[in-house]
């Protein structure tokens, strides 16, 4: 008999009494009832508390905010997609800037070395945010692959205030995640960190040292 | 977690279950418990055939032996009155473990009924007697160590300190890591003496560092452990059971 | 400070406890760390209805366990439909062989690992090395412990037994990093060392925090990004997990994740929550082209047979029980000599290793209840410790391997005579007999007790006598 069949067999022929599934009342993880502004405020407070930076701006001017961040952080090489509206707008706005734009929509095998060693920042869109924990949620795709938000030392993420929901439970249920998960779904809440050396926080251990959220409003 | 307990009105009579440690080593604590209850106008019945709640065997894994000893207590409290136990450890055994210990036996209903009438002493004094205290002692600082069984198994972290705060001349000081175990744990202290020794050393140092003139506890296991440690290194800090302390200062 | 490689075993618990208690550095490192973690957890739950949240966590885990075989089949079907290949292993040895084989099929010479306690449980690194495949830990704590040729001393914070100076020495001795007390500098050095390895690794091996049956999704919780790197950069990803980690619905992970991070490190959230549902799809540009899931039994289906022991399988591996354990805090994780130390180790390892090897672990608790009080899924840990003590001294019939191993005639006789005494009130009242009966229970009489404490003196008159006298005084 295969390991599979014998394991499942033992589980099915359980000796003890019949197991009854208790009810799960999810009220404690939903129904926060926060206003739009409370959501933005909580999101900002929480993500800032774990070393994330938030730049809030008018949606119309968001690429100016992006240019400001790139200038401030002295970013020379920025990797980004080519199809998402965020990437398209950024490409338009940055065409006349000093920043070199790197196409991220390439097979990693073709440019792993470059991505790991010669990219200063990655720009991504986000699908939404979570107020309760100060989290971004991303579904990386062909245009904005998974490593774009992980490998460069700076991750710049663009989020709309209207896309912030109260809790993770709300996002999973409202957005119908269970009916179709992508290859990789991600929550990101701050830059990479560790406390493995005597509980002292250090940032950028494997992923980005810095996370900047451009929070678009209006 | 401990279920919310609904407290009855003050009864005319109660039973006292003295516990084996008090019986053998700290009988004054039992007598002072009885005196405190009698002073409240409550008749205290002390069944002379009581011995031990069975906990030492229970926590050591000898459940049939524990059950037989527990069974010998079941018929000693036939009236409908509360059973007062001056120990969170024995009280916790009787209230939370008796029903499981007798589950599926012919004594299950009896054990469950008895369990529902068990009260730890400080719990009973606070929640049922609404005890008031007239402190006649000199001003002093006292620290309380609440046993882990009282604190966690019975959910009684506050009743001991609440009583001490009713003593007008006593300042209750809190030791660092007050909720941490003193390291007694029944046979744990014998099976793992070094670890237990490290725990009681930390606990006794914390009590001293709190600046207490005296410490009290509601469990004689902890008292024997912490007091024994302090005595072993000739500390001036002495402890006693909270019942004795309350009686001594108010009689 | 190159310490000799030290092997810890559960059989040597007492000696290891002795050594840890005598080591002021170990004592200080753990005390400081545990105090900090307890405080952070308290703070992290301060604005929550914690009891309701814990009950929800417990109910979700109980629901999953109540349907365990169905959910495993559903998980398998959904993973396979998504392109994740599912393997089943009866024990660690089988799992190691499977993982080694997958590596060999890809001609792998190097494996990069994300944190996985199940892989520690089966000593995967050693197996891979025997097959000529280098396995490198990438979680910073695991990396440091591996450099120091040790095992993790905590399930969440593997290097918690080491302080900054010790880590600086280890990094200097093993990697040539310049000695420093600057944690940022050490972290940056490790980043540089490991980045090379991520790029070069042929296979990534990770654990799983929650496996979602409904969608065939593997959830990984982490702060560093090494987990994401491990599961994204190499061309092959192998996830390995115990069969109990499955949950029914995707929505179930929301409260479990909230409980896990707050209970473990007092964080309101971790930096990354990484949900993997398939290998790289056509048109996608990164991620592994193959994803494997290895489901390991290793005694879990045996635990599953027993209505009470079953609760052990609720565990979501947060480590809060050890953070709050006064015994763990004093002796540290290595003393237990097992993959999982502390209270969860004491209730889990006897099933994985047998009671013969682990018989001192269930007794290494004062039953203070701190572990059960903080457990995010309400595992009644103290009751399970008592149950395992019962198995160890019982008649050898039961669901735990090695049951009855601690049964000794001497001890049984001592409890039997105690029972006789405590069921014969007349004899009980003859108090002088009692002390003798209790002395018999101690391995070496009152010796251990009086090494640290003054022995209690039996009272001149028992409570029975005092109360009789009191009644006489009242009557006269």
Tens of pLDDT along A197-206? 999 999 999 9
The DSSP output letter for C364 is: S
- In the complex, which subunits touch B with 3 or more CB pairs below 8 angstroms? C
Q: Is C28 on the interface with A (CB under 8 A)?
A: no
Cβ atoms within 10 Å, residue C101: 12
Contact B250, B134 (CB under 8 A): yes
Residue A129 lies in a domain: yes
pLDDT of A144 higher than 80: yes
Tokens 């005890």 found at = B131
Whole-number Å distance between alpha carbons of C260 and C319: 9
Hey, what are A193's tokens?
Answer: 């960190």
- Give the HSE-up count for residue B154: Cα atoms under 13 Å, Cβ half-sphere: 33
List the structure tokens of B109: 């209903």
Question: Is residue A115 one of the residues assigned to a domain?
Answer: yes
Chain A, residues 98-127, CB within 8 A of chain C, namely 104-108, 112-113, 116
pLDDT-based confidence at residue A162 (cuts at 50, 70, 90): very high
Q: What six digits make up the tokens of C221?
A: 């919780």
Query: Domain for residue A140, yes or no?
Result: yes
Structure tokens at A199: 């509980």
Determine the residue among B32, B146, B194 to mutate to test chain C binding: the one whose Cβ has the most chain C Cβ atoms within 10 Å: B194
The rounded distance, in Å, linking the Cα atoms of C27 and C225 is 31
Q: What DSSP designation does C31 have?
A: H
C-alpha to C-alpha distance for C61 and C58, rounded to whole angstroms:
5
Nearest CA in chain C to B149: C368
Contact B65 C435 (CB under 8 A): no
Number of Cβ pairs closer than 8 Å across A and C?
260
Res B149: pLDDT: 97
State how far the Cα of A120 lies from the Cα of A134, in Å rounded to an integer: 24
b (16+ CB within 10 A) / e for C401-427: bbbbbbeeeebeebbeebbebbbebee
How many other C-beta atoms can be found within 10 angstroms of the C-beta atom of residue B238?
Answer: 11
Give the distance from residue B247's alpha carbon to the nearest chain C alpha carbon, in angstroms.
15
**Three-state SS at C1:** coil
The pair of structure tokens assigned to B185 is 């744990």
Segments of chain B scoring below 50 in pLDDT: 1-3
Query: Which position has the higher pLDDT, C395 or A159?
Result: A159
Are the CB atoms for C156 and C264 separated by under 8 Å?
yes
* Structural domains of chain B, ranges and CATH numbers in brackets: 13-127 (3.40.50), 140-250 (3.40.50.11810)
Return the closest-CA partner of residue C306 out of C231, C397, C235, C188: C397
C-alpha closest to that of C306 among A20, B99, A14, B61: A14
Helix (H) or strand (E) run with residue A216 in it: strand A210-217
Task: Name the strand (E) or helix (H) holding C343.
Answer: helix C342-353
Cβ-based contacts of B229 with chain C (< 8 Å): 452-454
CA distances, B46 to each of B50, B51, B209, B250 (Å)? 8, 11, 39, 23
Q: What is the residue-averaged pLDDT of chain A?
A: 97
The pLDDT value recorded for residue A19 is: 96
Q: Which residues of C touch A197 (CB under 8 A)?
A: 140, 144, 159, 164, 167, 183, 186-187
| Per-residue tokens: A25 | 């009342």
Q: Which two tokens stand for residue C407?
A: 């049964």
Residues of chain B found within 8 Å of residue C431, distances taken between Cβ atoms: 23-24
B touches A (3+ CB pairs < 8 Å)? Answer: no
Q: Cβ contacts (< 8 Å) between B31 and chain C: which residues? A: 463, 466-467, 470
The distance of C296 to chain B (nearest Cα, Å) reads 31
Partners of A191 on chain C (C-beta within 8 Å) are 271
**How many angstroms separate the CA of residue C433 from the nearest CA in chain B?**
11
State the Cα–Cα distance between residues C368 and C365, nearest whole angstrom.
7
Q: Look at residues B150, B197, B188, B223 and name the one whose alpha carbon lies nearest to residue B59.
A: B188
Q: What angle do CA C407, C411, C416 make, to 5 degrees?
A: 110
* Tally of domains within chain A: 1
What is the distance between the alpha carbons of residues B156 and C18, in angstroms, rounded to a whole number? 34
Domains of chain C (ranges; CATH) run 10-302 (3.40.50.10420), 409-475 (no CATH)
pLDDT at site C457 = 79
Residues C391, B61: C-beta atoms closer than 8 Å: yes
Q: What is the pLDDT of residues C90-108, one digit of tens each?
A: 999 999 999 999 999 999 9
DSSP H/E element including C212 = strand C210-212
ipTM of the complex: 0.98
Question: What is the C-alpha to C-alpha distance for residues C347 and C359, in angstroms, rounded to an integer?
Answer: 11
pLDDT at A218: 85
CATH code where residue A74 lies:
3.40.50.10420
pLDDT score for B5? 74
Enter the tokens of residue C259: 């409980």
Residue C404, Ramachandran bin (φ over 0: left; ψ between -120 and 50: alpha; else beta) = left
Judge: A150–C228 Cβ closer than 8 Å, yes or no. yes
Length of chain A counted residue by residue: 218
User: Is residue A10, in this structure, part of any structural domain at all?
Assistant: no
| Disruptive mutation site among C241, C246, C286 for chain A (greatest number of A CBs within 10 Å) | C286
Residues in chain C: 476
Q: If you compute the radius of gyration of chain C from its CA atoms, what whole number of angstroms results?
A: 25
Task: Return the structure tokens found at C95.
Answer: 């799992």
**A25·C56 Cβ contact <8 A:** yes
Let me know if residue A58 belongs to a domain.
yes
Distance between CA atoms of residues B2 and B151, nearest Å:
10
Domain presence at residue A1:
no
Is the four-CA dihedral B122, B123, B125, B131 of positive or negative sign? positive
Judged by a CB distance cut-off of 8 A, whether residue B61 touches chain C is: yes
| A60 within domain boundaries | yes
- In the sheet that holds C203-206, the strands lie side by side as C84-89, C290-296, C236-242, C203-206, C110-113, C134-137
Token pair for B152: 């966690």
Shortest CA distance from C361: residue in chain B = B192
* Per-residue pLDDT, C163: 93
Q: Where are the alpha helices (DSSP H) in chain B?
A: 20-24, 27-39, 55-60, 63-74, 88-92, 98-101, 108-116, 121-127, 148, 159-164, 188-191, 193-209, 220-232, 242-250
d(CA C40, CA A85): 41
Q: Are residues C287 and A183, on separate chains, in Cβ contact within 8 Å?
A: yes
What pTM did the predictor assign? 0.96
d(CA C146, CA C124): 13
Indicate the pairing of strand A164-165 with strand A202-203. unpaired
Q: Report the distance separating Cα B171 and Cα B126, nearest Å.
A: 19
SS3 C297: coil
Retrieve residue C476's tokens. 């006269």
- CA C356 → CA C16, C135, C234, C349, distances in Å? 17, 31, 41, 11
CA–CA distances in Å: residue A107 to residues A116, C271, C419 = 14, 26, 75
β-bridge partners, A100 = A77
Mutate to test the interface with B, among C23, C30, C453, C460 (most CBs of B within 10 A): C453
Q: Which of B69, B148, B193 sits opposite C452 (nearest CB)?
A: B193
Does C394 sit within 8 Å of B69, measured CB to CB? Answer: no
Residue A94: domain span: 34-217
At residue C435, the pLDDT reads: 52
Q: For chain C, which ranges sit under pLDDT 50?
A: 1-2, 4, 432-433, 436-437, 439-440, 442-445
Interacting residues of C254 by C-beta distance below 8 A, sequence separation 6+: A26, A29, A167, A168, A169, A172
Instruction: Say yes or no for a CB contact (<8 Å) between B50 and C425.
Output: yes
Other CB atoms within 10 A of residue A3 CB: 18
**Listed residue (A58, A118, C326, C336) closest to B177, CA to CA:** C326
Share of chain A above pLDDT 70, in %: 100
Contact, C277 vs A183, CB < 8 A?
Answer: yes
SS3 labels along C132-152: CCEEEECCHHHHHHHHCCCCC
- β-strand A164-165 against A128-130: which pairing, if any? parallel
- A196 min Cα distance to partner chain C (Å): 5
A184: number of Cβ within 10 Å = 24
Distances B216 to A64, A205, B164, B175, C333 between C-alpha atoms, Å: 68, 50, 9, 12, 33
Can you say whether residue C332 is alpha, beta or left, with left for phi > 0 and alpha for psi between -120 and 50 degrees?
left
> How many other C-beta atoms lie within 10 A of the C-beta of residue C448?
19
Give the integer Cα–Cα distance in Å for C143 and C231. Answer: 17
- Top residue of A28, A152, A190 to mutate, by most chain C CBs within 10 Å, is A28
Residue reference for tokens 């009885």: B34
* DSSP 8-state class, residue B94: I
Concatenated DSSP letters of chain A: --HHHHHHHHHHT-SSPPP-PPP--GGGGS-----HHHHHHHHHHHHHHTT-EEEEEEGGGHHHHHHHHHHHTT--EEEE-SSSHHHHHHHHHHTTSSPEEEE--S-HHHHHHHHHHH--EEEEE-SEEETTTTEEEE---SSS-GGGGTSSSEEEEEEEGGGEES-HHHHHHHTTGGG---SEEEEE-SS-EE-TTTT--EE-SSS-SEEEEEEEE-
- Could you list the beta-strand ranges (E) of A97-183: 100-103, 121-125, 128-130, 135-138, 154-160, 164-165
- Which residue in the block uniquely carries the two structure tokens 């024995």? B90
């Amino acid at each position: 008999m295969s390991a599979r069949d014998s394991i499942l067999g033992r589980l099915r022929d359980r000796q003890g009494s019949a197991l009854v599934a208790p009810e799960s009342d999810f009220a404690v993880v939903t129904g926060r009832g926060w206003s739009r502004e409370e959501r933005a405020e909580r999101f900002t407070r929480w993500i800032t508390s774990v070393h994330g930076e938030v730049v809030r701006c008018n949606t119309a001017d968001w690429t100016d905010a992006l240019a400001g961040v790139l200038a401030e952080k002295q970013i020379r090489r920025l990797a980004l997609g080519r199809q998402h509206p965020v990437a398209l707008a950024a490409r338009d706005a940055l065409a006349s800037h000093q920043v070199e734009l790197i196409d991220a929509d390439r097979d990693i095998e073709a440019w792993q070395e470059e991505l790991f060693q010669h990219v200063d920042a990655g720009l991504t869109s986000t699908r939404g945010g979570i107020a309760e924990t100060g989290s971004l949620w991303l579904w990386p795709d062909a245009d904005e692959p998974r490593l774009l938000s992980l490998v460069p030392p700076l991750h710049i993420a663009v989020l709309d205030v209207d896309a912030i929901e109260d809790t993770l439970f709300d996002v999973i249920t409202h957005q119908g995640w269970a009916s179709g998960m992508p290859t990789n779904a991600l929550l990101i809440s701050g830059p990479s960190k560790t406390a493995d050396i005597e509980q002292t926080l250090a940032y950028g251990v494997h992923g980005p040292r810095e996370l900047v959220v451009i929070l678009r409003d209006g | 977690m401990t279920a919310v307990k609904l407290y009855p009105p003050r009864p005319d009579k109660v039973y006292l279950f003295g516990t084996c440690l008090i019986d053998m080593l700290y009988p004054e604590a039992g007598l002072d418990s009885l005196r405190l209850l009698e002073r409240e106008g409550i008749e205290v019945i002390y069944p002379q055939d009581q011995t031990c709640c069975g906990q030492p065997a229970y926590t050591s894994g000898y459940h049939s032996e524990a059950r037989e000893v527990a069974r010998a207590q079941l018929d000693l409290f036939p009236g409908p009155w509360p059973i007062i136990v001056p120990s969170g450890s024995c009280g916790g055994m009787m209230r939370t473990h008796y029903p499981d210990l007798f589950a599926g036996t012919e004594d299950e209903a009896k054990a469950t009924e008895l369990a529902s009438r068990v009260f730890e002493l400080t719990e009973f004094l606070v929640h049922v007697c609404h005890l008031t205290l007239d402190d006649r002692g000199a001003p002093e600082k006292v620290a309380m160590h609440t046993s882990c069984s009282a604190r966690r198994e019975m959910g009684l972290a506050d009743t001991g300190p609440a009583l001490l705060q009713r003593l007008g001349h006593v300042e209750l000081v809190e030791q660092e890591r007050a909720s941490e175990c003193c390291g007694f744990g029944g046979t744990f202290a014998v099976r793992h003496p070094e670890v237990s020794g490290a725990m009681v050393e930390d606990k006794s140092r914390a009590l001293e560092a709190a600046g207490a003139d005296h410490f009290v506890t509601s469990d004689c296991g902890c008292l024997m452990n912490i007091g024994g440690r302090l005595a072993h290194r000739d500390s001036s800090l002495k402890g006693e059971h909270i019942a004795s302390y309350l009686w001594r200062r108010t009689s | 400070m190159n310490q000799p490689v030290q092997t810890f075993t559960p059989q040597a618990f007492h000696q290891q406890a002795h050594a840890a208690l005598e080591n002021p550095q170990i004592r200080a490192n753990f005390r400081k760390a545990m105090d900090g973690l307890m405080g952070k957890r308290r703070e992290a739950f301060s604005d929550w209805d914690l009891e309701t949240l814990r009950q929800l966590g417990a109910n979700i885990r109980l629901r999953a366990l109540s349907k365990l075989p169905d959910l495993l089949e559903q998980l398998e079907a959904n993973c396979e439909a998504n392109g994740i290949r599912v393997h089943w292993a009866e024990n660690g040895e089988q799992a190691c062989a499977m993982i080694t084989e997958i590596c060999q099929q890809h001609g792998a010479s190097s494996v990069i690992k994300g944190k996985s306690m199940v892989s520690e449980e089966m000593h995967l690194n050693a197996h891979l090395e025997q097959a000529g495949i280098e396995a490198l830990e990438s979680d910073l704590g695991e990396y440091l412990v591996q450099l120091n040729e040790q095992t993790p001393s905590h399930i969440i914070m593997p290097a918690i037994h080491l302080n900054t100076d010790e880590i600086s020495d280890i990094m200097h001795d093993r990697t040539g990093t310049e000695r420093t007390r600057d944690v940022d500098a050490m972290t940056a050095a490790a980043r540089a060392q490991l980045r090379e390895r991520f790029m070069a690794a042929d296979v990534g091996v990770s654990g799983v925090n929650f496996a979602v049956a409904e969608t065939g999704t593997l959830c990984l919780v982490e702060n560093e990004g090494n987990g994401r790197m491990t599961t994204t950069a190499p061309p092959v990803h192998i996830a390995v997990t115990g069969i109990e980690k499955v949950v029914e619905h995707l929505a179930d992970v929301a409260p479990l994740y909230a409980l896990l991070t707050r209970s473990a490190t007092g964080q309101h959230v971790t930096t990354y929550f990484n949900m993997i549902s398939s290998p790289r799809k056509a048109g996608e540009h990164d991620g592994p082209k193959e994803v494997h899931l290895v489901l390991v039994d290793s005694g879990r289906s045996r635990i599953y047979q027993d209505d009470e022991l079953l609760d052990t399988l609720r565990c979501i591996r947060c480590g809060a029980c050890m953070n709050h354990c006064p015994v763990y805090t004093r002796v540290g994780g290595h003393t237990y000599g097992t993959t999982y130390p502390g209270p969860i180790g004491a209730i889990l390892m006897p099933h994985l290793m047998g009671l013969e090897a682990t018989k001192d672990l269930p007794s290494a608790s004062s039953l203070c209840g701190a572990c059960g009080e903080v457990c995010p899924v309400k595992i009644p840990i103290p009751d399970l410790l008592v149950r395992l003590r019962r198995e160890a001294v019982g008649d050898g019939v039961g669901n735990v391997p090695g049951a009855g191993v601690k049964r000794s005639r001497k001890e049984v006789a001592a409890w039997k005579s105690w029972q006789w005494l405590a069921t014969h009130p007349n004899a009980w009242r003859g108090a002088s007999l009692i002390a003798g009966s209790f002395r018999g229970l101690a391995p070496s009489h009152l010796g251990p007790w009086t090494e640290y404490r003054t022995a209690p003196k039996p009272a001149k008159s028992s409570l029975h006598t005092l109360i009789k006298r009191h009644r006489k005084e009242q009557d006269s």
